[in-house]
Structure 1
Amino acid sequence: MTDRNADGLDTMDRAIGARVRARRRSLNMSQSDLAEKLGVSFQQVQKYERGANRISGSTLVAAAQALQTSVSWLVGEDGGSAAPPDEAFAALMTPGAMEMLEAFSAVRRPRARQALLALAREMGKE
């Protein structure tokens, strides 16, 4: 039996999709570029990244090659310190999370970053 979360999506499919999205974005690759390399539509890439559709084994291998990483990293079996915990990837699935992280990373002053973090934590309490 598969482990499904509140929205009915398989937890492992979401985790793999989040890793695909994070890696694709770190390479500044568009969904269309990845779709072309995989031989699928960009809508299919969107579904993979959300975990709405399961990535087949052959497509997972092709995705790892296109994303210049390993299949083991994409499925969270790498064991290395390069892969953040699944909770971090789950948080990155929140709409706007990647954009917020990119904007936060662009803030150069440590005190400004601390203030933004405090604001976000306070807003999260509501």
Structure 2
Amino acid sequence: MTKVPNPIDRHVGARVRMRRMLIGMSQEKLGEALGLTFQQIQKYEKGANRISASRLQQISEALNTPLAYFFKGAPSSDGAPQGGFAEAGVEEGRVNDFVMTAEGLSLNRAFARISDPKVRKKIVDLVTALADGNEAE
């Protein structure tokens, strides 16, 4: 019998990963800052190991972000998304999963550097058209 990570532990770990990647910090660097191995950081990020309150405080300081960041959008204690309809939670989960990937972060960083709102709108329209065309196949 394999132990399934608690949804909140997975969420907090995923937020640690997202923040770490957003600032361009490696698992090794975060591990060094905390006196841990990169394997321990991997386990935290996957939710396999729970992060204690004191450790989360250290991570918060190392990643230069408030503690509340790690709980933003967290599921309720039973694993269900908080607030809204179930469908909205599923869609939000897919978006969060994508944003936390390397390509999702890369895409967001590049998109954020585009200053012209018209160009940004055209890119959104293009991606929407590509996604809609992909669903039709």
**Does structure 1 conserve the Cα–Cα contact (< 8 Å) formed by 2:28 and 2:38?**
yes
* CA spacing shift, 1:68–1:116, aligned 2, 3 Å: same
Counterpart among 27, 51, 67 of residue 71 in structure 1: 67
Structure in which a larger fraction of residues adopt helix: 2
* CA spacing shift, 1:36–1:103, aligned 2, 3 Å: same
Runs of 4+ in 1 over 6 A off after TM superposition: none
TM-score when normalising by structure 2: 0.63
Question: How many pairs are equivalent?
Answer: 113
Structure 1: gaps (5+ residues): 1-6, 78-84
> One-letter code of the match for 1:71?
L
Structure 2: gaps (5+ residues): 74-80, 83-88
* CA spacing shift, 1:49–1:123, aligned 2, 3 Å: farther
TM-score when normalising by structure 1: 0.67
* Larger-gyration structure (1/2): 2
Residue 102 of structure 1 aligns with which residue? 106
Measure, in 1, the Cα distance between the counterparts of 2:136 and 2:100: 18
Which structure would you say has the larger RCO, counting Cα contacts within 8 Å and 6 or more residues apart? 2
Counterpart among 5, 17, 23 of residue 21 in structure 1: 17
Measure, in 1, the Cα distance between the counterparts of 2:100 and 2:68: 27
